[in-house]
Amino acid sequence: MIFPRSTFAGNVYFGAMLLLALPSFLIGQSEQCSDSDLLAVLQPTDKSYSMAMELAETLQAEGFIIKCMLRSKMEGEFEGQDGAALFRTDRGDFEAMFLPKQKTFEKMMVLERQENSRYVYSFEGAPKPRSLRSMDSPRREYFVKHAHLLLLTSNALLAEDLRRAVSK
């Protein structure tokens, strides 16, 4: 016979264990995302969710605090791309683009040039960009390539921290 008291205690125990098993950035993610961010929070049904979770765990192990993981406008920028996510961290924001794990961004070259006061980026090699247009930015962008990951930020210090974290 099951008594209501033990059922309640079991449910509380199970719920506590479930919360402890979740990556810590998911607990309270909505508390750290802005109201507008909440409309674009990465969901388990999103194509890039599992890869974004793996990256988040890697970064957390290196001391990053993940504030929010969002859907990205960089989705589908490169042929064969498996997804993208926008990360908001305690060190700044960055975009992450993912290829299937058996593919790599290592052979892709990022070409930078300045036109007036803007930075213009184009890409050569594999994977090829889906669009022939170049990427235009009012500030310098930093690209971190590692295996199937391409990380993009306008923060030089964050780029270096990301490079160190993903290369370990």
Residue 91 is assigned to a structural domain of this protein? yes
Residue 13 is assigned to a structural domain of this protein? no
CB 124 within 8 A of CB 108: yes
Tell me the one-letter amino acid at 48.
S
Give all strands (DSSP E) within the chain, no chain letters.
66-71, 83-89, 92-98, 109-115, 118-124, 135-137, 142-146, 149-153
Residue 156 is assigned to a structural domain of this protein? yes
Residue 53 is assigned to a structural domain of this protein? yes
Residue 24 is assigned to a structural domain of this protein? no
Residue 46 is assigned to a structural domain of this protein? yes
CB 91 within 8 A of CB 114: no
Print the domain residue range for 157: 30-167
Q: How many domains does the chain have?
A: 1
Residue 4 is assigned to a structural domain of this protein? no
Residue 12 is assigned to a structural domain of this protein? no
Q: Is this prediction's pTM over 0.85?
A: no
pLDDT tens for the 168 residues of the chain, in order: 344 444 444 444 444 333 333 444 443 344 577 776 777 899 999 989 999 999 999 999 999 999 999 999 999 899 999 999 999 999 999 999 999 999 999 999 999 999 999 999 999 999 999 887 789 999 999 999 999 999 999 999 999 999 999 998
